Structure 1
């Protein structure tokens, strides 16, 4: 069976593309659903992703925060509390390291009401 002249160049191009080595294909071309991810040796798999997700709960003059780190880098978190009264001392909690796949609990308080609460993040080396 002979290929027609219009299908011959298309067939040759298809054979050439399919015979390329895996490394020659562009990164955004899906080759196989179960292909291993490409990560350079010593590099973080997702360098742009960092930071534990934190939830805070204020009850009266007490604060409880839970921080969970889903990423591979260690996140050093600190709880900061601003008290509502001018004579009440604002506090910055001690730093706590949140390792990958871990959750830490941070607590703090004011004598009276709490004005605001926030958590700072720092990449631990």
Structure 2
């Protein structure tokens, strides 16, 4: 079993419950960790046998471009797509962080992290 990590995928997105958040947007950071069997990729040196991190990045960016009120909703969409589109992945964890959230205090970021296992 192997683990692939994409750290600090940065996006400018429009998530949030406040109407203003949908208009002005905010900076986000996404972390993604996926577990899969890497033995065939390691043995063959063939991208077709590997977990393509370009594909993972594309999923994250596309889902971050779809406005949601809740970070939980964004996380779940990313989890669903990863497991649906990349069958070799057996476990995936996603953390979506809103940088400088509008909560009336000095908070660097707020993060929602979720995980899914292939059934």
**Fold shared by both chains (TM-score > 0.5):** no
Normalising by structure 1, report the TM-score: 0.32
For the pair shown, the structure with the greater C-alpha radius of gyration is 1
More helix as a share of residues: 2
Normalising by structure 2, report the TM-score: 0.33
